[in-house]
Amino acid sequence: MNNTASGWINGFVGILIFSGSLPATRIAVADFDPLFLTVARATIAGLLALCLLLAFREKRPARSDLLPLAVVSLGVVIGFPLLTALALKHITSAHSVVFVGLLPLATAIFGVIRGGERPRPVFWFFSCVGSAIVAGFALFQEEAASSVGDLLMLGAIVACGLGYAEGARLSRRLGGWQVISWALVLSLPVMLTLSIAVRPSLLPDLGSTSWFGLAYVSLFSMLIGFVFWYRGLALGGIAGVGQLQLLQPFFSLTLAALLLGEKVSLGMFAATLAVVACVAGAKRFAR
């Protein structure tokens, strides 16, 4: 199997894993405080990442890599998990999936900024149309929506897009799984300290599904998914494999309906399709 095919397969597995993140977070925040959930998942994943780096005797990143790694850490280790956990206290995971449809566009925009590229005007057309669709959907929901939840989700998408773009750049030099591992280890001292400081006095019963949510977002969303995702980007190319993010909203909507029994309305599905179409157009004219 050549590198391109391997990259696409790894990227697809990564997207499948990420698709369960929002439903699992929704399950977890039923019993866990969003701040504790954020720092606990990063601590668990960080300890595992440290073990991996030591086991494989990975060379430490150069000093020039520390700032980009810090950006990755702030974006995908802290920013996205915390903001989505807070958002899912106000909105359903199915509603949040529409915003996830903007993630490829956010990644492309930060890739353009970081890479110094000059996109065609059509790129910005698709960008504005996609943003308008999301804003209109959030504003004119028939059911009760939360402006706080929507704003938190928009912030999460910006943070994650920046983290993806920086991680993709670093993965070419450091390797796919090494990027997220070093980002997790970099934030581990702070996350471990906060986990102890904000731990709840009473933990949920061991039989609670919230433990499953915590385990999933810690092991799969925070570490294992990135092992496949960044490896896919490194082998198959950022622009090509990055298109697989367009499939994530569909997988997440399906999981939200099957696992949580959340209603996926025709309007929500149509909005997701429209956003995906706009993101596809914007990505096509990103260069």
- pLDDT per position as a tens digit, 94-114: 778 778 878 878 877 887 777
In the predicted model, what is the mean pLDDT of residues 147-162? 92
Q: What is the pLDDT of residue 93?
A: 77
Q: Do residues 241 and 232 touch, judged by C-beta distance below 8 A?
A: yes
Mean of the per-residue pLDDT values for the chain? 85
Q: What is the pLDDT of residue 139?
A: 64
Terminal-to-terminal C-alpha distance of the chain: 29
SS3 29: coil
pTM of the model: 0.85
Res. 258 pLDDT band, cuts 50 70 90: confident
Q: Which amino acid is at 93?
A: S
> Given a cut of 90, is residue 231 above it in pLDDT?
no
Q: What percent of the chain has pLDDT over 90?
A: 40
In the predicted model, what is the mean pLDDT of residues 229-240? 76
